[in-house]
Amino acid sequence: MGRGKIEIKRIDNASSRQVTFSKRRTGLFKKAQELSILCDAEVAVIVFSNTGKLFEFSNSGMKRTLSRYNKSLGSADAAVAESKTQKEDSKMVEILREEITKLETKQLNITYLCDYRQLLGKDLTGLGVKELQNLEQQLNEGLLSVKARKEELLMEQLEQSRVQEQRVMLENETLRRQIEELRCLFPQSEHVVPSFLQYQRTERKNSLVNTGTRCLNLADNCGNEKGSSDSAFHLGLSAGVQEEGPQERNLFK
């Protein structure tokens, strides 16, 4: 049967604790030696007992291993410090780049504003003859560009108008052909229907003729009547009323 699992805790008995320390130290050094031989590794073990006694094992020499350890530890610290420094430097570089970009943008805005005011003919006091000549040349070039663009737009509009005119002409030609085809399918009748204007003129002439006839008849009736008053002649209806008067009187009698 195998041994049971030992609970890992401090041994209270001093003699048992010393025996266990000796056995386990020997086993630890043995395992370190086997590790160095099997894996071709540089191994160093340092052990201090509870009484302060030193025990050590090293396959390559303790001083050499310790110096190598210190160098590696220093290089690791240096690498960490260098990485921190690089991060800080990169952050600082980004901040400086942003500041430079802002300043350049501000400077460009100021330059554009000054150029714009100079193009408008303002702030010309500090300019010399060469600068004024350059400004004049820029204005001439800008004016030529504006004229060229204006001519391009006008030509485009003219071309669009021509295309639209051709389209309208084609539509008119199509409509004319359709009308001719309809006339061929439905020939005109012999009795022409008068237009609205001709009908209106005819009605007006007839109404004038009827009105003149009525006036003549009314004048004749008024001339033949006797005893009619001036008011009866002007009204044209009172004479008739006077004629009907005696008949109504006979009816009432």
Contact 168, 160 (CB under 8 A): no
Q: Does a structural domain hold residue 28? A: yes
Residues 123-146: pLDDT tens digits?
A: 677 677 887 788 788 888 888 888
**Confidence at residue 200, expressed as pLDDT on a 0 to 100 scale:** 58
Q: Does a structural domain hold residue 227? A: no
* 233 vs 252: CA distance, rounded Å: 27
Q: Does a structural domain hold residue 61? A: yes
Let me know if 42 is exposed, middle or buried by CB neighbors in 10 A (0-12, 13-18, 19+): middle
Instruction: State the CATH number of the domain containing residue 36.
Output: 3.40.1810.10
* pTM: predicted TM-score of the whole model, two decimal places: 0.32
Q: Does a structural domain hold residue 74? A: yes
* 202 vs 196: CA distance, rounded Å: 10
Residues 88-113: pLDDT tens digits?
A: 888 888 888 888 988 888 877 777 66
Average pLDDT over residues 165-189: 86
* Domain count for the chain: 1
Q: Does a structural domain hold residue 93? A: no
Residue 27, CB-side half-sphere exposure with 13 Å CA sphere:
6
Q: Does a structural domain hold residue 31? A: yes
Domain span at 21: 14-87
Q: Does a structural domain hold residue 186? A: no
Q: Which residue has the higher pLDDT, 21 or 131?
A: 21
Torsion of CA 28, 34, 40, 45, to 10 degrees: 20
Q: Which residue has the higher pLDDT, 105 or 245?
A: 105
| The residue count for the chain | 253
Cα-only R_g, the chain:
64
Q: Which residue has the higher pLDDT, 206 or 150?
A: 150
